[in-house]
Amino acid sequence: METVVSGIRSTGNLHLGNYFGALKNFIKMQHESNCYFFIADYHSLTTHPTPEDLHGSVKQVLSEYLACGLDPEVATIYLQSDVPEVTELYLLLNMNAYVGELERTTSFKDKVRKQPENVNAGLLTYPVLMAADIIIHNASKVPVGKDQEQNLEMARKFARRFNNIYKVDYFTEPQPYNFGQALIKVPGLDGTGKMGKSEGNGIFLFDDAKTIRKKVMRAVTDSGPTEKNQKMPEPIQNLFTIMDIVSEKETVDFFKEKYNQCEIRYGDMKKQLAEDIINFTTPIRERILEISSDDQYLSKVVKTGAEKARASASKTLKEVREIIGFKPFVTNQYEHTK
């Protein structure tokens, strides 16, 4: 059976991008493959959360995983920080990861631009930790959104490099996965770019109906098409992209036709879009509230997950250590001197 690994950082509530780019596929894949889904709490430290925020976010993401339908009976659900083997593999992989290639990754360059006051070494080696997360279980498929493509390319590179250096065929090269389709990018509501947790352009699974209506009604549009069948500008295309994922096909077709005939009223489209999002998120929100208040259940889930994840991770690490040349001393070597 194929092994699947993926994770989401604990940096706040999950939004529609996290759901449709990643979580939806986690849920679909859990019954077909040997799945490991974790909460990337080490990765979230690059932005220096307070201890209270760190714990609160981990609990929130865990509750959201479960509320969306991840089943701890079939998938291994765990916290990254509960599997210390990951950090050892990270250290070992760091020895063969070059500063130059890490500095050239798009997400690192973005961070340098956006937060020049906090360019820490954890940010630089972020793709190495991510590779360790994946190859510690020797996964072949990684369900992720489009923004993770380059990180996956790096993970393949580090896996391949390890195999080449030690002349072994040990690690599988992990592939990003979306059931044969192109990886998804859910846009934000601010006209350009992707929906992000810190971009202020997101709709969260945990948002209530009033908040969702307000956010959608405020989404960027323009004064409308002036010619029939005119190409859509990015902000309008983005609204349609979100509608495509949450609404019925007939609804999308209806508004597309209105657009093409220059008869569209964005106010009506947004009202419909808001209601369709609310229909989708309301039951999830209710389950999040229910699950997040059940600390006993949550602690049972992470405990079982940690045990299963560590069993798999320690097996890999033991083999990796042997391949690298860490060998146990022969214990009866000095027996005769006693």
- Check 24, 59, 109, 111 and give the catalytic one: 111
**Binding status of residue 130 toward ligand TYM by CB under 6 A:** yes
Q: Which of 3, 4, 7, 189 binds ligand TYM (CB under 6 A)?
A: 7
H/E/C letters for each residue in 197-263?
Answer: CCCCCCCECCCCHHHHHHHHHCCCCCCCCCCCCCCCCHHHHHHHHHHHHHCCHHHHHHHHHHHHCCC
**Binding status of residue 186 toward ligand TYM by CB under 6 A:** yes
Looking at beta carbons, which residue is closest to ligand TYM? 21
Nearer to ligand TYM, 125 or 151 (CB): 151
Judged by CB under 6 A, the stretch of 97-105, 180-188, 272-280, 285-293 that binds ligand TYM is 180-188
Q: What distance in Å separates the CA atoms of residue 226 and residue 171, rounded to the nearest whole number?
A: 56
Judged by CB under 6 A, the stretch of 15-23, 205-213, 234-242, 244-252 that binds ligand TYM is 15-23
Residues 6 or more apart whose Cβ sits within 8 Å of residue 58: 10, 39, 41, 79
Compute the least distance from the CB of residue 303 to ligand TYM, in Å.
Answer: 21
- Catalytic residue status for 256: no
Which residues, 23 to 52, sit near ligand TYM by CB under 6 A? Answer: 40, 43
Compute the least distance from the CB of residue 152 to ligand TYM, in Å.
Answer: 8
**Binding status of residue 195 toward ligand TYM by CB under 6 A:** yes
**Binding status of residue 8 toward ligand TYM by CB under 6 A:** yes
CA–CA distances in Å: residue 294 to residues 41, 52, 64, 66, 189: 21, 18, 13, 12, 33
- Catalytic residue status for 197: yes
Compute the least distance from the CB of residue 184 to ligand TYM, in Å.
Answer: 5
Nearer to ligand TYM, 67 or 184 (CB): 184
Compute the least distance from the CB of residue 315 to ligand TYM, in Å.
Answer: 19
Judged by CB under 6 A, the stretch of 63-71, 90-98, 126-134, 294-302 that binds ligand TYM is 126-134
Q: Which of 24, 185, 258, 321 binds ligand TYM (CB under 6 A)?
A: 185
Q: What distance in Å separates the CA atoms of residue 39 and residue 138, rounded to the nearest whole number?
A: 18
292 Rama class: left (phi>0) / alpha (psi -120 to 50) / beta: alpha
- The size of the chain, in residues, is 338
CA atoms within 13 A on the CB side of 32: 8
Nearer to ligand TYM, 236 or 264 (CB): 236
CA atoms within 13 A on the CB side of 198: 8
Nearer to ligand TYM, 105 or 264 (CB): 105
**Binding status of residue 316 toward ligand TYM by CB under 6 A:** no
Compute the least distance from the CB of residue 276 to ligand TYM, in Å.
Answer: 18
Judged by CB under 6 A, the stretch of 98-106, 116-124, 138-146, 244-252 that binds ligand TYM is 138-146
- Check 59, 141, 194, 215 and give the catalytic one: 194
Nearer to ligand TYM, 14 or 252 (CB): 14
Tokens of 238: 């983005």
Q: What is the set of active-site residues?
A: 111, 194, 197
Q: Which residues bind ligand TYM (CB under 6 A)?
A: 5-9, 17-18, 21-22, 40, 43, 130, 133-134, 142, 144-145, 147-148, 151, 184-186, 194-196
